[in-house]
């Protein structure tokens, strides 16, 4: 087999309750967690469409994906590759739930003839990826990953492989999610996944569930030699990824974090590294009792005592489901750029029942950037890990 091509990240875009745009997002990650629901109140979709009619024909998740793709491609300096070699590998956990719920109410209150003819393309999980490819004329692979909360991490891993193996030269990848509708919130609340205290407290003794959020992050992946030849700004590179399944329970993680630990090890091996070479872990860290416990066990198994710094940015952002992995990969790349690791907001009281992990809390931690891991673990037992590194590594 020929040598794998290297994969650079040359553009980033983000819409999050922590902030829209890279600087605002970074500032938010290093600030106190917002009070109450983690909705995005300052996002104006009309800024990213030619006219209001176009925006109305897109679900909110697609609107956010379109926005972050525009930001990321502008950040990357546009596209210079052959459009036939440029693809979209995008992710979502659910799809257009808000539109679906709105149209069910229209059916109930006004009758079948009033249901929007645009409902079906608006609720399709693949709508964000399709919209990006059409907006920018990208004719390469266009596929959507829907593996719950691991979706955008899986998308980044798959997109990387397509470039590594020579099937594409540029991939627009990431994720978008917006399911904070009444039915969506009620469903997660009634399964006791959401925090009853209204706080996200990853790995804390008093954690009681996650805070739902919405948002999107898009990353532009490009074959390294091409990126270097055009003198692109390179945030980092993706060295490898891992994917496996717990095969245990539809919502609960495998006991002891065995599946998560195996996935981390797969990613490390795919990157050609050892666990001792991982300098930082952005944990899945949802703030749910079972998931945080399983991940802490997994981290302990992979890294032992005195492991690398660990943080969960969900203390600030909340949990964006299928978009979470893309948001967290973006935060790692900004950590390379800013040479700091954001603290785990909401963490106050260590849990004596969890293994001791090297959790960053209280204030940002200065560091010398090196290979870093982002973890995502989703309902259905889907596990995903991706390894990113600064380009001088």
pLDDT at 35: 84
Q: Is 139 a catalytic residue?
A: no
For residues 160-182, give the mean pLDDT. Answer: 97
How high is the mean pLDDT of the chain? Answer: 96
Closest CA relative to residue 30, chosen from 260, 320, 343, 259:
343
Asked whether residue 306 is assigned to any structural domain, the reply reads yes
Q: Which of 154, 319, 382, 385 is catalytic?
A: 319
Are 211 and 313 in contact, with CB atoms under 8 Å apart? no
Q: Catalytic residue among 86, 149, 263, 279, which?
A: 149
* 149 tagged catalytic: yes
Task: Check if the beta carbon of residue 21 is closer than 8 Å to that of residue 14.
Answer: yes
166 within 8 A of 172, measured Cβ to Cβ: no
Beta bridge partners of 12: 219
- The arithmetic mean of pLDDT across residues 20-35, rounded, is 95
Tell whether 131 is covered by a domain. yes
- 174 contact partners, CB below 8 Å, separation of at least 6: 13, 65, 68, 69, 72, 90, 91, 152, 155, 156, 216, 217, 218, 219, 323, 326
Q: Which of 86, 284, 382, 385 is catalytic?
A: 284
- Examine residue 340 and state whether it is found in any structural domain, yes or no: yes
Query: Whole-angstrom Cα distance, residue 296 to residue 82?
Result: 44
Instruction: Specify the pLDDT at position 1.
Output: 44
Domain coverage including residue 145: 7-389
The pLDDT tens digits of the residues spanning 367-380 come to: 999 999 999 999 99
pLDDT tens column, 275-322: 999 999 999 999 999 999 999 999 999 999 889 999 999 999 999 999
Position 255 pLDDT exceeds 80: yes
Say which CATH number the domain at 64 has: 3.40.47.10
* Residue 215 domain-assigned (yes or no): yes
Q: What is the mean pLDDT of residues 225-241?
A: 97
Coil/strand/helix, residue 280: strand
Mean pLDDT of 360-389: 97
The dihedral sign for the CA sequence 64, 65, 67, 71: positive
Q: So what's the pLDDT on residue 369? A: 98
pTM of model > 0.95: yes
**What pLDDT is recorded for position 34?**
85
Q: How far apart are CA 323 and CA 333, in angstroms?
A: 16
User: 32 phi and psi, to 5 degrees?
Assistant: -65, 150
Tell me if 2 is assigned to some domain: no
Q: Give the mean pLDDT of 332-338.
A: 98
Residue 263 a catalytic site member: no
Give the C-alpha separation, 138 to 220, whole Å. Answer: 13
Give residue 321's pLDDT. Answer: 98
Which tens digits make up the pLDDT trace of 145-170? 999 999 999 999 999 999 999 999 99
Give how many domains the chain has, as a whole number: 1
Share of the chain above pLDDT 70, in %: 99
Question: If pLDDT is split at 50, 70 and 90, which confidence band does 2 have?
Answer: low
pLDDT exceeding 90 applies to what percent of the chain?
A: 96
Cα 98 to chain center, whole Å? Answer: 20
Residue 270 inside a domain? The answer is yes
């Amino acid at each position: 087999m020929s040598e794998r091509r290297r994969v650079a990240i040359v553009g980033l875009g983000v819409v999050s309750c922590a902030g829209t745009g890279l600087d605002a997002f970074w500032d938010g990650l290093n600030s106190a967690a917002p009070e109450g629901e983690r909705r995005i109140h300052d996002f104006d979709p009309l800024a990213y469409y030619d006219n209001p009619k176009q925006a109305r024909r897109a679900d909110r998740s697609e609107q956010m994906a379109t926005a972050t793709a525009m930001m990321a491609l502008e950040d990357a300096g546009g596209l210079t590759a052959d459009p036939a070699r440029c693809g979209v590998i995008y992710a979502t956990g659910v799809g257009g739930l808000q539109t679906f719920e709105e149209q069910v109410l229209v059916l109930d209150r006004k009758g079948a003839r009033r249901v929007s003819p645009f409902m079906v393309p608006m609720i399709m999980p693949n709508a964000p990826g399709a919209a990006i490819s059409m907006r920018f004329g990208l004719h390469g692979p266009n596929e959507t990953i829907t593996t719950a909360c691991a979706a955008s991490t899986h998308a980044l891993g798959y997109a990387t492989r397509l470039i590594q193996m020579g099937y594409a030269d540029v991939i627009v990848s990431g994720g978008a999610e917006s399911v904070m509708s009444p039915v969506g919130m009620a469903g997660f609340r009634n399964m006791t996944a959401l925090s009853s205290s209204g706080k996200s407290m990853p790995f804390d003794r008093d954690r009681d569930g996650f805070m739902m959020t919405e948002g999107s992050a898009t990353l532009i992946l490009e074959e390294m030699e091409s990126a270097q030849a055009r003198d692109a700004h390179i945030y980092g590179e993706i060295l490898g990824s891992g994917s496996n399944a717990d095969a245990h329970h539809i919502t609960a993680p495998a006991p002891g974090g065995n599946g998560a630990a195996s996935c981390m090890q797969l990613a490390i091996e795919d990157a050609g590294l050892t666990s001792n070479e991982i300098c930082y872990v952005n944990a899945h860290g949802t703030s749910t009792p079972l998931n945080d416990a399983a991940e802490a066990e997994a981290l302990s198994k992979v890294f032992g005592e005195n492991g690398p710094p660990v943080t969960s940015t969900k203390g600030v952002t909340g949990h964006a489901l299928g978009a979470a992995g893309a948001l967290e990969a973006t935060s790692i790349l900004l950590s390379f750029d800013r040479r700091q690791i954001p603290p785990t907001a909401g963490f106050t009281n260590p849990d004596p029942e969890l293994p001791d992990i090297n959790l960053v809390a209280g204030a940002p931690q200065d560091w010398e950037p090196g290979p870093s891991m982002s973890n995502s673990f989703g309902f259905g037992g889907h596990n995903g890990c991706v390894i990113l590194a600064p380009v001088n590594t």
